Chain A
Amino acid sequence: MVANKFELKPGGATREAFGKTLVELGRASTDVVVCDADLSKSTYTHLFAKEFPERFFSCGIAESNMVAIGAGLASAGKTAFVSSFSAFVLNKGFEQLRVTAAYPNVPLKVVGTHSGISIGEDGPSQMSIEDISLACSLPGFAVFSPADEVSMAAIMKLAVAHPGPVFIRAGRAKTLVVYGPEQQFEIGKAIELVTGTDVVLIAHGLMVAESLKAVDLLAAEGISAGVVDMHTIKPIDRDAIVRAAAVGAIVVSEEHLVDCGLGVRVAQVLSETKPCIVEYVGVQNTYAESGTPDAILDKYGLRAANVADAAKRALARKRG
């Protein structure tokens, strides 16, 4: 039995870390430019706009144009970020992401904030539950879902150095801090946070902290659970998935539709390598509703208890 060695301290939202890191990146290079679609106070790009007004392009409420403006800037050599709510930049800008960034392999940096259902009160029109699926469907895109403010800052720096287009998923809600400042990140290398012998909990975004909490819940019942933070969803870390499969039971948890997110990508890797029992925690073929973030996460089953229940289901199947 492995005790949870993580003390999960309250931290900031990944959107806030995004905004702060943008300013750092802007200070480090005059080539960094940012486009936003009238949500800069929510996406935190207003911090960059304040310090570098000449490098901030207000696009108005016009996400399709914003994506292609960013692609034009990136084509001309700029390190161009485009940002809005994930639901808007991915859905309204998808065609432009496809034709002006993915297809010509333009190294545009796309950041979608307010992802998942944890935005709460604003409801489903603003909730992005299909962005991972959409971003992963773009050939050449690297897709990230950081778990906390530390990983967001680190992944943005990796994204800037990456020669291709990227999508980074950020959230509105404050996150628990999973990582210390010394943690190293690498594109496509999952982080095995806890080692377990009965079941491995794979997650991205805020479900990493929930999975860590589930480790304690399971330990109280004598179950040893490991945790893997799949911060890079594409290119996916196949080796980490195969290692997880060695224990014979996996739970994939995500604040995304279960039908088309990380879970199905993990299942694909397993079917090609080492078939394994998998249970899934996520949004089930539906849109959520308004409510406090906590109430929404409870109702739609995105809590540590849901992860622990899924782990027990997986173990029951494993034992036959």
Chain B
Amino acid sequence: MNKTSNPQDLAQIAKRVRREIVSMITAAKSGHPGGSLSAAEILVTLYFDVMKHDPANHHWADRDRFILGKGHACPVLYSVMAECGYTPLDKLNTFRQLGSIYQGHPDVRFIPALEASTGSLGEGLSLGLGMACAARLNGSPSRAYVVLGDGEIQEGQIWEAAMFGAFHKLDNCVCIVDYNKIQLDGFTKDIMDVEPLADKWRAFGWHTIEVDGHSIEALQAAFAEAAATKGKPTVLIAHTIKGKGVSFMENNPKFHGTAPTAAECEQALKELA
């Protein structure tokens, strides 16, 4: 795969990823477009620039680990992994069909290059921290990157994990909260407000960076700051827009878990051209 640190190139990849997200969810007639689109720059920046990994050797012991805590946003992960060369691009539109490797939520039985099967919210950060513990014991430079949803952090296990990460000084783990402010039932502030969010993570002992989650340059700088931070784990609170890139999906709770119609898909792909 061709990695790049050029923000313009990464933005182009993110745009392609957005088109693939919309197409595969439309083909599947179900899925979660909003939270997939909001995380596009985060995953593209990680997979194409920040993380050390090798699609030709996915069992490489010193690889960085990526875990999508918010497993329902797997279209963005499938698209990025396919763009990297882990899995076939031309099969993305089999998403959610019987026999497809692109299961409804990430499933290591179908894609061994995934680091974890997720979908039940709240468990990914613990897994990433466990992998970070193993890397430290092995003297490995491997780092763990875990993307969480903002609704997901309502799960109590997240805060058990947050305590664990700081207590064990796991500076080789980076958590990214995709803070798009919307969850299934509506706006996060109306369902179970997670504010004051940065204060919470700081109080739990994490190096906390607030960042524009759609600015590739800002994400690159934040990941560099995380790598330079020693003695504590880092969390990026990535301010994002749910449904980013498709006008009628942006900030619209309906598109948390609803597939676009064929006509909506056509409109979306025009906007993402």
Partners in one complex: yes
- Main secondary structure on B side of the interface with A: helix
Interface string of A59-103 (1 = CB under 8 A from B): 110101101111111111110100000000000000110111001
Q: How many residues of A contact B (CB 8 A)?
A: 31
Q: Are B133 and A72 in contact (CB under 8 A)?
A: yes
Q: Are A69 and B130 in contact (CB under 8 A)?
A: yes
Min CB gap A75→B, angstroms: 6
**Contacts A99-B123, A103-B117, A104-B109: A76 and B130 contacting too (C-beta < 8 A)?**
yes
- Main secondary structure on A side of the interface with B: helix
Cβ contacts under 8 Å, A57 to chain B: 133, 168
Q: Are A60 and B137 in contact (CB under 8 A)?
A: no
Q: Any chain B CB within 8 A of the CB of A55? A: yes
Interface string of B126-138 (1 = CB under 8 A from A): 1111111111011
Q: Any chain A CB within 8 A of the CB of B235? A: no
Q: Any chain A CB within 8 A of the CB of B220? A: no
Q: Are A104 and B116 in contact (CB under 8 A)?
A: yes
Q: Any chain A CB within 8 A of the CB of B204? A: no
* Residue among A55, A74, A99 with max Cβ neighbours from chain B (10 Å): A99
Q: Any chain A CB within 8 A of the CB of B7? A: no
A58 to B129, CA, bound (A): 13
Cβ contacts under 8 Å, B133 to chain A: 33, 57, 69, 72-73
Cβ contacts under 8 Å, A54 to chain B: 137
Interface string of B26-44 (1 = CB under 8 A from A): 0000000000000000000
Min CB gap B152→A, angstroms: 13
A132 to B104, CA, bound (A): 31
Please report which residues of chain B, range 156-210, place their CB below 8 angstroms from some CB of chain A when the two chains form the complex: 156-157, 160-161, 163-164, 167-168
**Contacts A57-B168, A65-B157, A96-B126: A72 and B131 contacting too (C-beta < 8 A)?**
yes
A242 to B138, CA, bound (A): 48
A108 to B65, CA, bound (A): 19
Q: Any chain A CB within 8 A of the CB of B120? A: yes
Q: Are A77 and B117 in contact (CB under 8 A)?
A: no
Residues of chain B having any CB pair with chain A under 8 Å: 61, 65, 107-109, 115-120, 122-123, 126-135, 137-138, 156-157, 160-161, 163-164, 167-168
